[in-house]
Amino acid sequence: MVRVILRRLIQLVVTLIALTTLVFFWLRSLPGGPVDALLGERATPQTRELLTRALGYDQPIWTQYGRFVKNVVTGNFGNSIRTGEPVMDVISRSFPATIELAIAAIIIAIGLGIPLGYIAARYRGRLLDNATIIVTLIGISIPIFFLGYLLKDLLTQNIHIFPPSGRITTGMDNTDVTGFFVLDGLLTREFDASADALWHLVLPALTLATIPLAIIIRITRASVLDVLDEDYIRTADAKGLRNTTIRKRHVLRNALLPVVTTIGLQTGALLAGAVLTEKVYNWGGLGTLITDSISGGRDYPVLQALILLAAAVFIVVNLLVDLSYAVIDPRVRVQ
Amino acid sequence: MSGTGGLATLADHKRRRIEELTARTSEAGGVSLIRDAGRRLLRNPTAMVGAIIILLFLIIAIFAPLVAPHDPVQRFPELTKDLTVDTIPGATAGHPLGSDPLGRDFASRMIYGARQTLFVGVLATFIGLLFGVVLGAIAGAVGGWLDVLIMRLTDVMLALPSLLLAITLVALASRSTQWTVIIAVAVVNVPIFARLLRGSMLAQRESDHVLAARALGVRRRDIVLRHMLPNSLTAVIVQATLTFAVAILDAAALSFLGLGDPDINRAEWGLMLGVDGVRYFEVRPELAYLPALAIIFVALGFTLLGESMREALDPKNRR
Amino acid sequence: MRASRMQAKRLRTVIAAGVIAALAIGAAGCADSDRDSGGDEGKAATGGTFIFAGAGDPKNFDPIFNDDGESFRPIRQMYDTLIEHKPGTAELQGGLAESWSNDPTGKIWTFKLRQGVKFHDGSALDATAVCANFDRWYNMKGEAAQSQMIYYADVFGGFAGSPDAVYDNCKAQDANTAVVTMKKYKGAFPGAFALTAFSIASPTAMKQYDADKVTQNGDSFAYSAFANEHPTGTGAFTYGGWNKATGEITLNKNPDYWGDKAKVDKMIIKIIKDENTRKQELRAGTVQAIDFPAPADRKALAGEGYKVLDRPAFNILYLGINQKNPKLKDLRVRQAIAYALNRAQLVQTKGPGGATVADEFMPNTVLGYAADVQKYDYNLEKAKQLLSEAGATGLTLNFYYPTEVSRPYMPNPQEIFTVLANDLQAAGIKVNGVPRPWNGGFKDDVQQFGKQDLHILGWTGDYNDPGNFVGTFFGREKAEFGDKDMTEMFTAIGKADATVDMAAKKTAWEQVNRDLATKWLPAVPLWHAPPALVTTKNVEGLVPSPLTNEEFNTVTLTK
């Protein structure tokens, strides 16, 4: 067991070193780069030269690489080119925003998806069922940024119900504790701020929820249908148990198992959706950070850190999962 | 990173769906299943709706020069005459859908859009399929450390949400062209096809007809090429149909993020929606609505047909 | 087996959730709460809070280390310059200096300072403080810091020890008279003294908060506490914090301001990068003014009763021609390109409201604009004829254009390129479009390596001086235009720039502009496009500035 962990840890280190090296040399081979991003139209050739020297780009590539590795090892990913802020600060600030949005989207997707899927299955083949299926199909076929635009245009411009963008009303004097604005408002008893943040959350969460919602509806429906087909339900039916009892005791409970699993599986897809949703609603989370660090900004330090962090977290999670397999299933341990 | 916690699980999810598909389509193998499935598809209205949409799309795409009233990149004086940055002329004689933001015939651009969209979708799907199938076939046929290596690689790729992977690829390419978009969208599909093919081939390794061939002394290369590969292809075709829908949606999303094809002369629906459609939404909403509807319809068509094919090939439904 | 697989999968989900939660807690621990201070002032409002939507993040708040409009917007409110621009114009008036004068050689500048002006930290603005600023700039140590003083390097030529340095010394003649001596005359002065980058900061605060400390970290720089948390100037607003999580910069009214005190109690600059979202927030009433509306939205917003304020155009968009290509060295080919472009139609179809066709490389409000330069009106026949005379039929040109960028003079480069390319094709020039990301290779390829045959680029003026336009573009050899043989042009511009006498200077620049159009034609001027501001009906007193440096102390909110 210990040997397995050790081997995997070595693997982790090797992978990270390889990736770090790759990212470093790759980004340096690109045209433009930090010197370009730091200078506007007004820089003279002398300034350009000065900057190249100041950033150490005139030194041999191996010296540069050594410095870079030293920084990364000490957890220093450099500063954002745009604001000069440490990259880790930028990332940790954007993080709660995306999580807040993702959680809200998941709540919507579950809250609507399970009942709708269940109803569709109960009325299988009827109008309601067919309508639900068509809506879910459209849900996964519509570009979600466009859906976001439509919702935003309709509900913030034509009818002023929701705020068009951002996480909280500008000038709202909220206290920042955890970075989760809804939670912060509750913690500090600034309930108005909490409500305001929640209000800002509705449209983006609804937009982001479309795809998971469609998937949850379909899986719930399929899984309820499977269970309805099982022998024990037929038995219960034959026994003359009341319909509601069957539904409560047997169908839903058994059908929910695969649904619950699927919900956990949607997390990654949510992050991809968040990139688009956050751009539509000017939501200052990781999605915005990714797009901003690429298009327009070319903020390579931020981009570099995001890639490495993603890889590191991925590898660690995989390791934990594999280890947990070993704990649960003795057969793996033997291997 | 937020999603990374879920990355492993997403990969897992994708992998499971692929396994399901593989299991369904390769278990029974053989011509009878396909013939059977074909018959069931023809009787399935959902599949037919999907097929009709796709057929219509293909006809418009292929015969675009015959269908379209004008050249899609030409600027017309009668349209530019009244064009300003905040007014875009609507329908006039000879231009049924009016102008686009540059004084070009919008109807023709919509029609040629089918062609470019088909081009991007087909290439992205095909490149993904090609590399995926080759990798998967090698992994499935050779096995050993090569198999482990390829599967590890696909694990990593599956772990990243597809759009994020595409965005990262465009960023690493440093500049976007139509090809970087196609390749970024294609790469996302490589691991899916690779897993699909490997699973299907492993399933067949123990099947009767392969065992029989081996007993007869047929060379391994011939077994793989003549017996195993063709049988795996049904699953691949189903997946390719579903992939097409995702490919054109991803291409549109990249355009919206400003990382799509930079050449706005090209009439491609995703580009038209993600750039002009969004920018001129209030001036002329049709510039967004029409490409969006076109994308939704085509994506829907491919999803309907793909899902129906998947269902039809499922041995469970053969009772 | 099945059960354990299912369990494992659920566990996997739980672990993922756990990792997310752990990261979230870690992140929360790092998150700043810079909202603690300055929250109460706004509440007992008499003048209210003015919320302005800007288009991007500022870099920091130390004027000398900045060179872009989004950083200058808050800086302008917190600091003052020795000389200012009259609101709504590019003309000069007294700022921190009530008056200024120069000796006949144009090297010695004497500033009579306003009396009783105090920095936000309570220290006095006097001649010593002014000289401390000039000396700080000149003596700045370290390549990191120097490389970020982009305006200083451009205007003052260099730093202590550099042979090109223009600055010599600054002396406090008495408490209210500062005398700045230059090594040579430069046409940029006195206009350059009004540049926001040369705002006067409190020497006490700069010392206390280590203003000169710019440290390199990885591929970028970290700035001092002065630049980030304690910007201290003399301006009408004081710094109230930058909440990066919400993208809000708070500025509070300076009750001791020497000039017109701010009418509002507080102002918030809200950063909204997407132009569409800025407009929607304006409509939702959550912001009272927005910068750079999308050109397509101007008409609609005006129709809904919003005030669309056009800044007088003080910029230029041009089509650059690279003479590294031997075919383009032929003046006739360059003229053919100019004739082939239907610029009137470009302005009509794609120009932001109020845009005009440009005939010269500077707007007509700048000294030395000649009314009688040769104009290249659209003439396809002439273009074709010139091309065949020059033996350049069937010419193929690489046309570089930027992507991922929007500039006030160039709201949508892809559309502009497409229109221009279309025109050139019509004249028989084959165009090979090369899109390059603005920060991902365009500036490098075009300005440093000169890879292009044609490109589009432009400029927004900093002060009213022809040297700031024409001199910047064509005053010296540049890879951008491949113009190393055009020594006659460099000499003429150098001479005009060095002329001290105003009348002679005007004549010299007028001749330069005429020759640029007829003899040299290193590029084709396309348009001047006024960038706009939009405000709600109840915003009064906001004067749009051609130099995009509005001051918000005059703004009032009516009900």
pLDDT in tens, C494-528: 999 999 888 999 999 999 999 999 999 999 999 99
Which of the residue ranges A325-334, B169-178, C156-165, C214-223 has the most confident prediction, judged by mean pLDDT?
A: C156-165
Shortest Cα distance, chain A CAs vs residue B283, angstroms: 13
- What does the pLDDT average to over B92-110? 94
Q: Which residues sit opposite C174 in a β-bridge?
A: C177
Inter-chain CB proximity B175 and C16 less than 8 Å: no
CB < 8 Å from B in window 295-334 of C = 295-300
pLDDT per residue as tens digits for the range C188-222: 999 999 999 999 999 999 999 999 999 888 778 88
C179 has a pLDDT exceeding 80: yes
**Closest residue of C to A302, CA-based?**
C219
Chain B contact for A8, CB < 8 A?
no
Which residues of chain A lie closer than 8 angstroms to C221, CB-CB? Answer: 38, 79, 84
Measured in angstroms, the CA of A128 and the nearest CA of chain C are apart by: 32
Tell me whether residues A328 and C11 touch, CB distance under 8 A. yes
Q: C435 or B174: which carries more pLDDT confidence?
A: C435
Q: Does pLDDT of C133 surpass 60?
A: yes
Most confident of A234-238, C13-17, C137-141: C137-141
pLDDT at A5 over 80: no
- Which residues of chain B neighbour C422 with C-beta distances below 8 Å? 73, 75
> Å from C36 to nearest chain A CA?
7
CB atoms within 10 A of CB A226: 13
Q: Where are the alpha helices (DSSP H) in chain B?
A: 4-26, 30-43, 45-62, 64-67, 77-80, 106-142, 144-159, 162-172, 178-205, 208-215, 220-222, 229-256, 269-271, 278-279, 286-313
**Percent of chain B, pLDDT > 70?**
86
Terminal CA-CA length for chain A: 10
> Which site among C71, C146, C220 would you substitute to test the A interface, given the most A Cβ atoms closer than 10 Å to its Cβ?
C220
What local confidence, expressed as pLDDT, does residue C16 receive? 45
C103: phi > 0 → left, psi -120 to 50 → alpha, else beta; which?
beta
The answer to whether the Cβ–Cβ distance between A32 and B174 falls below 8 Å is yes
Q: What is the pLDDT of residue A314?
A: 66
Of A34-48, C55-69, C258-272, the range with the lowest mean pLDDT is A34-48
Chain center to CA of C426: 35
Residue-wise pLDDT for C252-288, tens only, equals: 999 999 999 999 999 999 999 999 999 999 999 999 9
In DSSP terms, which residues pair with C111 in a beta bridge?
Answer: C100, C178
Q: Are B124 and B93 in contact (CB under 8 A)?
A: no
Of residues A40 and C96, more confidently modeled: C96
pLDDT for res B24: 55
A neighbours by CB contacts (3+ pairs under 8 Å): B, C
Q: How large is the ipTM?
A: 0.85
Instruction: Check whether the bond before C190 is cis (ω within 30° of 0).
Output: yes
Q: How many CB pairs lie under 8 A apart between chains B and C?
A: 92
Q: What is the pLDDT of residue A46?
A: 81
C-beta atoms of A92 and C219 within 8 A = no
For residue B174, give the chain C residue with the closest CA: C440
CB atoms within 10 A of CB A210: 23
Contacts of B75 in chain C (CB under 8 A): 419, 422
Check residue C127 and give its pLDDT: 96
E strand segments, C225-293: 237-243, 248-253, 266-271, 289-291
pLDDT tens-place string over residues A89-122 = 999 999 899 989 999 998 999 999 999 999 998 8
| H helix or E strand, kind and range, residue C443 | helix C443-443
The separation between the first and the last C-alpha atoms of chain C, rounded to the nearest angstrom, is: 72
Confidence of residue B319 (pLDDT cuts 50, 70, 90): very low
Instruction: Identify the pLDDT of residue B171.
Output: 76
Q: Which of A149, A273, A318 sits opposite B8 (nearest CB)?
A: A318
pLDDT band at A183 (very low <50, low <70, confident <90, very high): confident
**Neighboring chain C residues of A66 at a CB cutoff of 8 Å:** none
Q: How distant is the Cα of B181 from the closest Cα of chain C, in angstroms?
A: 14
pLDDT confidence tier of residue C315, bands split at 50, 70 and 90: very high
Q: Return all residues near A143 (Cβ < 8 A) that are at least 6 apart.
A: B249, B252, B253, B256, B270, B273, B274, B292, B295, B296
Model confidence at C36, pLDDT cuts 50, 70, 90, reads very low
A313: nearest CA in chain B?
Answer: B4
Q: Which chains touch B (3 or more CB pairs under 8 A)?
A: A, C
* Per-residue pLDDT at A279 exceeds 70: yes
Q: What is the 3-state secondary structure (H, E, C) of chain A?
A: CHHHHHHHHHHHHHHHHHHHHHHHHHHHHCCCCHHHHHCCCCCCHHHHHHHHHHCCCCCCHHHHHHHHHHHHHCCCCCECCCCCCEHHHHHHHHHHHHHHHHHHHHHHHHHHHHHHHHHHHHCCCCHHHHHHHHHHHHHHHCCHHHHHHHHHHHHHHHCCCCCCCCCCCCCCCCCCCCCCHHHHHHHCCCHHHHHHHHHHHHHHHHHHHHHHHHHHHHHHHHHHHHHHHCHHHHHHHHHCCCHHHHHHHHHHHHHHHHHHHHHHHCHHHHHHHHHHHHHHCCCCCHHHHHHHHHCCCCCHHHHHHHHHHHHHHHHHHHHHHHHHHHHHCHHHHHC
Can you give the pLDDT at residue C456? 97
Distance from CA of B148 to the nearest CA of A (A): 14
Chain B hits for C414, Cβ within 8 Å: 262, 264, 275
A265 inside 8 A of chain B by CB: yes
Mean pLDDT of C303-328: 95
pLDDT of residue C492: 96
Residue C23 has pLDDT above 60, yes or no: no
pLDDT above 90 as % of chain B:
44
Query: Does the beta-carbon distance from C23 to B2 stay under 8 Å?
Result: yes
Instruction: State whether A175 and C36 contact (CB < 8 Å).
Output: yes
Is C415 in contact with B175 (Cβ distance < 8 A)? no
Enter the pTM of the model: 0.87
CB C435 to CB B263 under 8 A?
Answer: yes
